[in-house]
C-alpha cells in the first residue's frame, strides 16, 4: 500500500494494493500491524456506515474531549471528503484538505483525533464506512460550519442538503478556544 502524508500533520491518504482479475478484485481494508507501520493507530473501537444521496453534505464534525481518529472509505459511489485542522497550536490550524474517495479509486483517508471532518456526495448515492478510535459521545460533539468563509472549502455541490444540526454549526472563529482540542505535535 502507498501512504502519503498531507499538508495537515497526521492526515494520511492511504492507497491500498488492489488485486484484480476477470472475477473482480480483492483488497485489504484494514490490518493493524501494516497500518500501524504507516502511522495509523491500531486501536479502533467502532465502525460506522452511512448511505447518502447526491448533494448530501455531512459535517464538519469533531468531538472534544473524546476526540476520534477516523479511517474512512467509500464502498459504493463517490464523495468529496474534507478534513479541517482545528487543533489549537497546530501549524496548519484552520487549513483544510480535500480528496475524492470512491468505489473506483479505493482510497482511504486517516483523520487524526482533533480534526473536523465532513463530506459531500458527488455520485447518485454513496455508501461511506469509517472506523473510529473513540466511541461516539454526543455531549462532546462540535459542528463547524461547512461553509465557513474563513476556511473557504470549495464544495463541489450547489445548494447541498444538510441537517439542521450542520446548518446551525459555528464559524471556527466563534468557537471558544477551550472547546477546541490542542495539537499534540
Which residues are annotated as catalytic? 61, 130
Query: 26 is written with which cell numbers?
Result: 480483492
Helices (H), the chain: 32-36, 164-167
**What's the start-to-end Cα distance of the chain, in Å?**
25
Closest by CA to 50, choosing from 108, 3, 120, is: 120
User: Collapsing DSSP states into helix, strand and coil, what is residue 165?
Assistant: helix
Amino acid at each position: 500500500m502507498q501512504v502519503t502524508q498531507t499538508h495537515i500533520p497526521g492526515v494520511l491518504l492511504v492507497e491500498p494494493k488492489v488485486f484484480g482479475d476477470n472475477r473482480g478484485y480483492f483488497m485489504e481494508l484494514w490490518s493493524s500491524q501494516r497500518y500501524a507501520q504507516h502511522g495509523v493507530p491500531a486501536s479502533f473501537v467502532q465502525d460506522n456506515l452511512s448511505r447518502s444521496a447526491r448533494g448530501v453534505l455531512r459535517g464538519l464534525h469533531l468531538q472534544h474531549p473524546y476526540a476520534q481518529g477516523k479511517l474512512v472509505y467509500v464502498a459504493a459511489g463517490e464523495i468529496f471528503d474534507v478534513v479541517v485542522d482545528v487543533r489549537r497550536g497546530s501549524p496548519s490550524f484552520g487549513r483544510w484538505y480535500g480528496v475524492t474517495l470512491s468505489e473506483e479509486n479505493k482510497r482511504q483517508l486517516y483523520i487524526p483525533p482533533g480534526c473536523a471532518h465532513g463530506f459531500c456526495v458527488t455520485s447518485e448515492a454513496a455508501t461511506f464506512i469509517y472506523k473510529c478510535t473513540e466511541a461516539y459521545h454526543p455531549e462532546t460533539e462540535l459542528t463547524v460550519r461547512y461553509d465557513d468563509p474563513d476556511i473557504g472549502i470549495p464544495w463541489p455541490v450547489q445548494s447541498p442538503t444538510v441537517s439542521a444540526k450542520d446548518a446551525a454549526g459555528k464559524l471556527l472563529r466563534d468557537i471558544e478556544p477551550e472547546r477546541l482540542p490542542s495539537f499534540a505535535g
